[in-house]
Structure 1
Amino acid sequence: MTGNKEGASGVLYIVATPIGNLDDLSPRAVATLSRVDVVAAEDTRHSGRLLQHLGLQKRLIALHDHNERDRAGSILDELERGHSVALISDAGTPLISDPGYVLVREARRRGLTVTPIPGPCALVAALSAAGLPTDRFLFVGFLPAKRTGRRAALEPLRQESATLVFYESPHRILDAVSDIAAVLGDSREIVLGRELTKTFETFYSGAVAEVLPALEADPHGTKGEFVVMIRGAEPAGHDDEEGALDVDHLIRLLLPEMPVKKVAKLAAELSGRSKNDLYQRALELKQD
């Protein structure tokens, strides 16, 4: 901060900024931004508008994916001269699929103080409202842009039992969901969070086979940034534990008595497994 005594190092603050709604900026974040000497920003024009909204004039340094390794040294020099720096990204918490890793790692290597100013984070906000298990989740960031790479990245995750979380851009969301269906199965439960905290915030949820057409039918379905959340795979041996319910046997008993949808609902209530997964399994057994 300004006014550090001579010889003292400054502090690198990792400041979370709103992902949409400006009212989510914490008083502590505002106070920190008002006190630091320098703001390192992913996009100085974007962050300049945020600072202008707060009535602040600060020296801005661009720090993004393409220049971080070259620019980190000069920012660290600022810190060692006693100047404090706030690192912010375009939205949310820095370093979460955003620049800053190189800077923070090198600051810690030099023994400089790094302090988080917590706040908005799209993946945490989305998970909190998704209705999917949150005791274990795997954040994968952005999937590859090309179909071949996307499917290759999804393939090792087929048996992952933790909830999967991705970020996705609007112009790739339909292709990404299609590839999720192809690799993980169209009965897998999925939740998409779009435009979180903004005026047109929307959640799409259900089996992939249900969500994809809903997204295609929505005229706003390919607008805004997305958080993609997928229910994890059933743990291996789920039905092999001693005393576990033989779900396949139950489904076979129920199929002659009621529609597939009701069979899946009842089997899910009795077994604790995903209704969408059991619906697909019932369809398979019915065909057999």
Structure 2
Amino acid sequence: MNLFKKSGVLYIVPTPIGNLSDITYRAVDTLKSVNLIAAENIYHTNILLQHYNVKNILISFNKENEKKQSHYVIKKLQEGKKIALVSNAGTPVINDPGYFLIKQCYIFNIQIIPLPGPCSAITALSASGISTNRFCYEGFLPSKKKTRRDLLYSLREEKRTIIFYESKHRILQSIKDIIEKIDQNRYLVIAREITKKWESIYGAKANIILSWLKKDINRYNKGEMIIIIDGFKELKKKDISEEIKNTFIMLRNFLSLKQSVLITSKIHKIQKNNLYEYAIKKEDQ
């Protein structure tokens, strides 16, 4: 039984994130064959359509008018129309308008067909050299300083690889916040202008990344930035470094065993249990 036989179809169509060649044959065919294209930015999408000689009707569909336009799109779908949803770049709905419309389609039993295609976060991750087995996508870092810093602090022991988007205007401050709230020695990758002319991918410890960016404004003054953060890794028992030991010994000269362990574990972001075992053995010597 076809639950969708009385309705049209909503196609989720990814578009290039920079290089216009990064579009599938299927995506072009879909954009040609649908009755209507709901575009985040009509002018931007027209550039792509003209490049591939696609002639179709476009309507504006952005964050400001999403709810209002969703009702119009649903009505057209209920009339049996086929409609493509596109964003400015990449896969629609991922940090772009469309969530409300998708939910409405399920409510009204309207068929949704997603097409595979570009996504800047995944493209950057694949070239980062950081573990891709498990990762979490956090979208854009909050613009408000306190909210951003609180979020980063909450992720300081996240073991999965973390992906953020960030603007050129806040990238320096965000890296400073990562250094303070996560760890200056945490490995990061900064990817910029993926698939475009000025594409760059650079990885290093957070404090080195900050210095690298500051040395040349051209490294961050154009395009959207992607920050990929290596996940938190617990030190194994045998991995208590000399630096950690020296910190503990120095604190122990002035503080109790418990306080010394607690402060050392916070400074170096290691599990207290690992350090306790070392500390107790040293006390027995």
> TM-score band, normalised by the shorter chain?
0.7 to 0.9
Given residue 224 of structure 2, which amino acid in structure 1 is its aligned partner? E
Q: Structure 1 residue 80 and structure 2 residue 78: aligned?
A: yes
Q: Distance in 2 between matches of 1:151 and 1:177?
A: 11
Deviation digits for residues 192-246 of structure 1 (CA, Å, limit 9, x no counterpart): 10000111110121100111111121231221111110011114xx425xxxx24
Q: Which runs of 5+ in 2 are unaligned?
A: 247-268, 271-285
Q: Structure 1 residue 120 and structure 2 residue 113: aligned?
A: no
Match of 1:226 in 2: 225
Q: Structure 1 residue 247 and structure 2 residue 245: aligned?
A: no
Q: Structure 1 residue 65 and structure 2 residue 63: aligned?
A: yes
Question: What's the C-alpha RMSD, in Å, of the aligned pairs?
Answer: 1.9
TM-score, normalised to structure 1's length? Answer: 0.80
Deviation digits for residues 56-100 of structure 1 (CA, Å, limit 9, x no counterpart): 221111111111112101101111111111000000001111110
Given residue 247 of structure 1, which amino acid in structure 2 is its aligned partner? I
Q: Percent identity?
A: 41
Q: Distance in 2 between matches of 1:226 and 1:103?
A: 28
Per the alignment, in what secondary structure is the counterpart of residue 220 of structure 1?
helix
The answer to whether the 8 Å contact 1:191/1:206 transfers is yes
Q: Distance in 1 between matches of 2:242 and 2:215?
A: 37
Match of 1:268 in 2: none
- Partner residue of 2:203 out of 202, 205, 217: 205
Q: CA deviation at 1:251?
A: 7.9
Match of 2:166 in 1: 168
Which piece of structure 1 moves more, 61-70 or 124-133? 61-70
The answer to whether the 8 Å contact 1:204/1:215 transfers is no
In our comparison, the structure showing a higher alpha carbon Rg is: 2
Q: Distance in 2 between matches of 1:177 and 1:189?
A: 11
Given residue 101 of structure 1, which amino acid in structure 2 is its aligned partner? Y
Given residue 239 of structure 1, which amino acid in structure 2 is its aligned partner? K
Name the count of aligned residue pairs. 243
Which piece of structure 1 moves more, 50-59 or 207-216? 50-59
Per the alignment, in what secondary structure is the counterpart of residue 189 of structure 2?
strand
Per the alignment, in what secondary structure is the counterpart of residue 139 of structure 2?
strand
Structure 2 counterparts to residues 80-159 of structure 1, below 5 A: 80-159=78-157
Q: Distance in 2 between matches of 1:14 and 1:85?
A: 9
